[in-house]
Structure 1
Amino acid sequence: MFCYNLLLVFQVIWLNVSCLFLRHKSTLLWLRNSSSCNRMFKKVTKSIVNQMDPDGDLVPVRSMLDHEHFRPLCLVRRKRKAIFHPSPCYRQTWYRLDDVLLPGQDGKSSESLILNGGDQDSRQFLVKKSVSDRVDGSLRLSADPTRVELKGAASLAEEWSIKLQKNHIPPPKLEALKTERKINTNHSFIQQLQKTGQKLYVVHETIETLEEASFEETSGAEGNFMAQFYAEFCAKGARENKQSITIPKGCTLAFRAFQLAISDASWGLHYFPEKLTRKLASDGVLQGTLGALEAEVKRNCHILSKLSSQLSIIFLKAIKAVMRDRNLFQKLSQKMEAVLDEGDSGELKTESAALKDLLSHLQHSPAHVLHSMATAITYTLDALEELNEDQLLLLLESLENKIVAQQLKLVESILKQREHRKGSNTDPSLLSFSREREHQLTIAMMEMSGVKLHEDGSAACTEGAFSAIAALYVSLYVLNLLSNPC
């Protein structure tokens, strides 16, 4: 009996310290993986944009590995619009403006416009951030002759300081360049671009690191308990996790881009092409509704509801694999973008066992089916990319525990609350799970999307949380669809 009671005490301790861990939305130590550097980089770039240009069109760079493709005069393309993308998102093209222009009469390249040009607009800034949070909790149980005391805490600290430089190519310089040099209409990239009708953008302003900078994040947990049965038993434990990332000098952290207007060999700049669209997109009446989100998901993912059970398993296997592996995620995303851009299935080959079955099926699908499949996968990956690595791993655990359907209903309820503002609390049964661990990981997942759930069923959302909630809704919708095929 003593051993059994002692085991129960250990379970109580683990449960309560886990609760403290999970309720602190930024502290999930056991879920860190090799993608943490990318997570930290995104955290820094988003924070810088929020501080320097919260309501403007400055775009954060999402990956440190891609920063070289967002320097001045780099050509980029806009990602397809989605409700969970309230601001523009871009992807690199591997080309610069100079690559697609014909030589000028003087034989000079456009490199004279870059940093060493002499009259370029360049300014310096210093951005700092320091955060320190701690959550404490305690539990005391007393029933003679047994007494149990439990204490636990979770903490997070982060601090960084970055010297930044704004590099800006004045529009008059670009206007002068367009009269001196024409577009090379024989360039294969330009031909493919015109064939598919895609829009092209040129980076004209960047925020770069002026010197090497380090970002460190420290998180920890500690717990101790005292149990008195027939004898007194005490234990104490602590865990600390430190992660850091070094951002090199000259790394692009954020940028702005102009849309290029290409007509035969001539080209121009659109300075305000998205002004009206952006105003409407930020309007809660138009896009901040559950109905609009549901319609968008069904429009993009309708083909997934028609998959056989066998194909659903193949798709789900691939999606789960890319959620765990950032490299696989990027490979699948690039292949699907190529299908949508060029309509070619010839490159759907891979050495990855996790993706082989999926790509093999797509390669032998009719053109219209292939396009619909690529649209659904790309849309899903875009939503998953909006989540952090901790949320992805919690989603995978939710799949294993078969609670995704209930979580989807919970998010729907939260979105309805947000839409009606009042009088529509969450159904308490949606927060009732068979195991406490499932309840706590769900709470943590919601908090990472800016939602705080209260005991009375109401939900408090942070400012601007709709995009994060919408991305979580799309992710849960697709995972539930694939794991429960018709």
Structure 2
Amino acid sequence: MFDKVTQRLVRQIDPDGDLIAVSSLIDSGKLQPLAVVMNRRSRRFWQTTKYRPTGFTLNQLLQGEYIQPELDQKELVTYQETHQGNVSGYLEAGGSVLSVSVGGSGGSALFSSLGMLHKETVNVFKLIKDSKQRKVDLHHPLLKQMLDTSKQKWEFTVVTTRVFNTSESKIKYSSIMEGSSGITPQLVGNIKAKVSGKAHSHTNCVMKIPANTVMAYKISGLDIKSDGQYEFILRGHFCGIQSHQAYPLSGVKTELEEVKSLLCVLAGLPHQSRSPLLLQLRQILLDREHLSVLEDRLEELVYDDAPSLYHSSYSHSPHQIIDTFLDLLIQSDTTSETSLSTESTNPGASMRLSKQNQPVLVAMYNLVCAAMDDGLLSLADICSSQVSCLLDSLH
């Protein structure tokens, strides 16, 4: 709910600029002036750049004395918005043996009253001057971790502009979602049996946001040299901010065909593997934090440079559902004898993963990346376990 409001705010006040919407209240507290934010550019043309506030500031990474940034603060806008939307759809398909119908409708309303928003900007030119001949501590845990060769996909940036509220704000959200599904198989002769079901959900939520909560921010890139010296990169393209790049249609078609073939791997899983995965995935779709964690975990398993040892101990994990899901997913990857080596078939087992041959993991990673889109998240509200039954019947 919070991220929906910040995204709409950015689209209203800076549609073609470099403002980044804050995705969670937890991240908001980390976005102080000169806060270090890691960002990663998209792998697919439909994905957006991903930003990860670290909780550290540039000063905490520096050798020697702190840099005192010069800040300019001014009123930006008084913001209040009401947004309402409705959606509905129906699909019916059938043949001589089986007919299937799926329908859904819903509506939502989002009201945000953020009050007076202030904009705080770091004097970047003074910051550059104060940074001359300065070095970062290459032994700092964050630098040692992120400068590792397997983590080069992440780039260092620092916060140079913040947009925040000056008084308590309020967000109200309500939604009603309804869905229905039915199967009519042909039995013996002209006898037919119809199986149907319905799902309904109604949500009302009010969130009070404390004063001085950061809603949006801008960043400048930080190019760290091998000796610890650093330079600021001021233009958005070099900061990792996603530009409006045009993709050739041939390239788009190639990527879509590749993704289509990957997703067919999931459809080809046997029922005993696919059904538990769908049920677990539906639960994860209902929680954006879990979905984000799953995306990160899958990316590590798929794109780290060398083969790694996967070990889950989800009985002690704050994200138990993620560990459970990954165990099911990895054990279902039976498309190649070389894709993994299982040391134990019990939950929490250690498994040796090959980075060259993980079709199921790669397919699920692409699906989860696409599911970060709000439109797909809303599908979880009207889905029921009967949708899985429909998929199984059609397979």
TM, length-normalised to structure 2: 0.66
Name which of 178, 199, 219 aligns with 1:257.
219
Letter in 1 for 2:291: F
Task: Classify the secondary structure of the residue corresponding to 1:186.
Answer: coil
Q: Which residue of 1 aligns with 2:313?
A: 349
Select the residue among 359, 363, 386 that pairs with 2:373: 386
* Structure 2 residues not aligned, in runs of 5+: 88-105, 178-200, 332-339, 341-349
The alignment partner of 2:163 has SS state of: strand
Distance 1:367 1:212 in 2: 50
Q: C-alpha displacement at 1:100, in angstroms?
A: 2.3
Q: Verify: 1:78 aligned to 2:29, yes or no.
A: no
Q: What does 1:89-104 correspond to in 2, within 5 Å?
A: 89-103=50-64
Tell me how far 1:251 sits from its aligned partner. 1.1
**Structure 1 residues 168 and 354, CA, compared in 2 at 3 Å: closer, same or farther?**
closer
Residues 18, 236 of structure 2: 8 Å contact kept: no
Match of 1:435 in 2: none
Picking from 174, 181, 188, the partner of 2:134 is 181
From the two aligned structures, give the one with the greater helix fraction. 1
Ranges in structure 1 where 5+ consecutive residues have no aligned partner: 1-39, 114-118, 136-152, 222-238, 407-483
- 2:5 — aligned with what? 44
Find the aligned partners of 1:300 and 1:72 in 2 and give their Cα distance.
Answer: 42
Return the alpha-carbon distance in structure 1 between the equivalents of residues 141 and 108 of structure 2: 54
What is the correspondence of 1:103-118 to structure 2 with a 5 Å cutoff? 103=64, 107=65, 109-110=66-67, 112-113=68-69
- Provide the rounded CA distance (Å) in 1 between the counterparts of 2:81 and 2:393: 38
8 A contact 1:315–1:358 mirrored in 2: no
- CA distance in 1 between partners of 2:370 and 2:46 (Å): 7
Q: 1:366 to 1:161 in 2, by over 3 A?
A: closer
SS of the aligned residue for 1:189 comes to helix
Deviations 1:306-350 (A, max 9, x none): 756555445434423311344533443343344445865456332
Q: Match of 2:390?
A: 402
Alignment partner of 1:207 is 2:163 = yes
CA distance in 2, matches of 1:132, 1:301: 33
C-alpha contact (below 8 Å) 1:76/1:203 kept by paired residues: yes
Higher strand share: 2
**CA 1:215–1:68 in structure 2 vs 1: closer, same or farther (change >3 Å)?**
same
1:298-317 pair list within 5 angstroms: 298=260, 304=266, 310-313=272-275, 315-317=277-279
Give, in angstroms, the shift of residue 54 of structure 1. 0.6
Q: Which segment is superposed worse, 349-358 or 198-207?
A: 349-358
| Partner of residue 253 from structure 2, selected from 261, 276, 291 | 291
Task: Identify the residue that residue 121 of structure 1 maps to in structure 2.
Answer: 72
| Conservation of the 8 A alpha-carbon contact between 1:323 and 1:393 | no
Report the Cα distance in structure 2 between the residues aligned to 1:44 and 1:186, rounded to whole angstroms. 39
1:368 corresponding residue in structure 2: 355
Q: Find the counterpart in structure 1 of residue 122 from structure 2.
A: 169
Residue 274 of structure 1: aligned partner: 237
Q: Tell me the CA shift for residue 243 of structure 1.
A: 2.7
8 A Cα contact 1:280 1:286, kept in partner = no
Superposed CA deviations along residues 209-267 of structure 1, whole A, max 9, x for unmatched, are 1111012245689xxxxxxxxxxxxxxxxx99643211111111111112221111111
Map 1:4-15 → 2, pairs under 5 A: none
Q: Give secondary structure in 1 for the equivalent of 2:145.
A: helix
- TM-score w.r.t. the length of structure 1 is 0.55
Letter in 1 for 2:230: W
- The total of aligned residue pairs comes to 322
**Identity rate of aligned residues, in percent?**
19
Shift of 1:382: 2.4
Q: Deviations over 1:61-118 (max 9, x none)?
A: 1122322233332222224413323x53312334332232222xxx3x24x22xxxxx
Question: Quick check: 2:233–2:239 contact (8 Å CA) kept in 1?
Answer: no
- Root-mean-square deviation (CA, aligned residues, Å) is 4.1
Report the CA distance shift for 1:177/1:193 in structure 2 as closer, same or farther (over 3 A): farther
Distance 2:360 2:390 in 1: 25
Secondary structure of the structure 2 residue equivalent to 1:382: helix
Which one has a bigger Cα radius of gyration?
1
Displacement of 1:294 in angstroms is 0.9
Question: Matches of 2:365 and 2:202 in 1, distance apart?
Answer: 37
